[in-house]
Each structure stands twice: as C-alpha cells, then as structure tokens.
C-alpha cells in the first residue's frame, strides 16, 4: 500500500490489541500484536465510575470478565479485582483490564503506534471524550507520532477536540457511509473516516478518498480483501487475523 502524508501511521492495525490471539483490550493482547509484527494497535477506551480511562469494549463487563455490571457503575478498585482474560483461555486467566496509563507505557516502550477508540458507556460521551483526549495528549507528549483518536460518538469527538485539538481524530461510521459524511467529518475537524468492511464497496471508498479524506477499514480478515482495499487507495486496515493480514503476507508488502 502507498504511504500518504495525511496518514502517517502504519497500514496494518491489530484490532482490539491482538485480534483473536489474546483477550481483547488487554496488555497481553497488545504484546501479542507486537509479537506478531504489528506496529500499530487499536483499542477501546471508556471511563470507570470514578473517572479512570481504561480499556473495555462493551458498556458492561459480563462478556469479557468474571464480573457483572456497567463500567460506569464500577470504580477502578472494583474493576481491578476482575479477570478479563480467563474467558479467552486458561493461559490468560487473571489478566486485568489495563488503564490508559499502562497502555501508553506498554506501547511507547515498544514503539507501537495507537488508535485510541473513544467508546463511551451510553450517556457518558462528553466526559469520556474530554478525559481520554486530555490524558492521551499528556501521555503521548513528545511521541514520534501522535495517537489517532476515533469514535462513533460525535459528542465524544467534539469533547475530544475541545480538550486536545492538536490530536488527530477520525469519525467511525456504523453501517453504510451516509450521504452527508463529508460535512460531518469536516464539521468535527476529523481527518477522515474509519468504516466497516461490509460497507467498503468500491464506490464508497473512491468517493471518500477522492474528496481527500483518510480511510481505514475494520475488520479485514482476508488478505485478498486487504489487497483490493489497498488497490483502491485505502490507507489502513484493522484485522483480527494477525497471522494472515499483515505487512509480510504475499502481495501485501509495502
């Protein structure tokens, strides 16, 4: 894939840290992503009940831990007692949910770039966008490349811009790319869109790229599909299949 000045990050991004190799949104996942040769990881960040930015995809902890309840109603001490690894397999039993601080240390020490997806618990969009952006600006100060912030939540992206306007942002799109995507992306001061592979048809991709926006596509788990998307000019793909969709896969080398 060609490099593009508007997209200074790598073209291959490990989804939720390490895709299917490890429990999503943990340090073990990020280490697995790095070990698989990925130099950029995506992960989901929200706030605990007492305001700690930490990694979790869902509103609730049930699916990925041995606990119960909404992230926004559990304080950081209570979250710290939960096992976020055992659901994936015994090798990961006891793996905690990491704070954004721990993730900044882990990724920066390894030279791994970050896409921080701001994933507010329902109703907490503004506070989550503000805290995550403010802390990201502090934690990545002086980094060779800034983290890319992204969100489905336009309120979170507005709050992120108000808190740390210098950090680049991308608008995540759920479902088909809407006709007014350009106005929404530009109105939020975002560099581009991150879209679902199910809706990344050639017309949508060429429209987005032709209007000068950046485009990353999630999740691309087939190397042939990645090749097609790069052929159309896509800047990056997120993958859960780290052993198949990677920079050294046949035909996918930069």
* Partner that binds at residue 238, options ligand G3P, Mg ion, none, CB closer than 5 to 8 Å by kind: ligand G3P
Q: Is 57 a catalytic residue?
A: yes
Buried b (16+ CB within 10 A) or exposed e, 63-83: ebbebebbbbebebeebeebb
Binding residues for ligand G3P (CB under 6 A): 15, 42, 44, 57, 117, 150, 172, 194, 218, 238
Q: Is 88 a catalytic residue?
A: no
The answer to whether the CB of 235 falls within 8 A of the CB of 220 is no
* Contact pattern for Mg ion over residues 49 through 88, marking x by CB under 5 A: ----------------------------------------
Q: What is the secondary structure of 3-49 as a DSSP string?
A: -BTTB-S-SEEETTTTGGGS-TTSHHHHHHHHHTT-SEEEEEEEE-T
* Distance from C-alpha of 24 to C-alpha of 226, rounded to nearest angstrom: 22
* Contact pattern for Mg ion over residues 106 through 145, marking x by CB under 5 A: -----------x----------------------------
Determine if 44 is a binding residue for Mg ion (CB under 5 A).
yes
Six-digit token pair at 39?
A: 């130099």
Q: Which of 15, 88, 124, 235 is catalytic?
A: 15
* Partner that binds at residue 150, options Mg ion, ligand G3P, none, CB closer than 5 to 8 Å by kind: ligand G3P
Give the interface with Mg ion as residue ranges (CB under 5 A).
Answer: 44, 117
């Amino acid at each position: 894939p060609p490099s593009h000045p508007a997209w200074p990050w790598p073209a291959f991004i490990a989804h939720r840290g390490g895709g299917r190799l490890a429990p999503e949104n943990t340090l073990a996942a990020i280490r697995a992503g790095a070990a698989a040769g990925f130099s950029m990881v995506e992960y989901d960040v929200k706030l605990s009940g007492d305001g700690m930015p930490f990694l979790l995809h869902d509103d609730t902890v049930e699916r990925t831990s041995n606990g119960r309840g909404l992230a926004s109603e559990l304080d950081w001490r209570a979250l710290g007692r939960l096992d976020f690894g055992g659901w994936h397999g015994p090798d990961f039993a006891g793996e905690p949910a990491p704070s954004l601080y721990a993730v900044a240390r882990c990724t920066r020490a390894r030279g791994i770039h970050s896409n921080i997806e701001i994933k507010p618990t329902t109703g907490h969009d503004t506070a989550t966008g503000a805290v995550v952006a403010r802390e990201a600006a502090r934690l990545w100060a002086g980094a060779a490349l800034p983290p890319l912030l992204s969100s489905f939540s336009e309120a979170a992206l507005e709050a992120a811009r108000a808190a740390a306007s210098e950090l680049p942002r991308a608008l995540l799109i759920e479902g088909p790319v809407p006709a007014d995507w350009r106005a929404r992306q530009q109105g939020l001061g975002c560099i581009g869109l991150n879209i679902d592979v199910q809706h990344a048809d050639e017309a949508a991709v060429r429209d987005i790229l032709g209007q000068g926006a950046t485009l990353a596509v999630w999740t691309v788990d087939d190397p042939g599909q990645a090749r097609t998307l790069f052929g159309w000019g896509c800047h990056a793909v997120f993958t859960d299949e780290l052993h198949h969709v990677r920079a050294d896969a046949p035909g996918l080398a930069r």
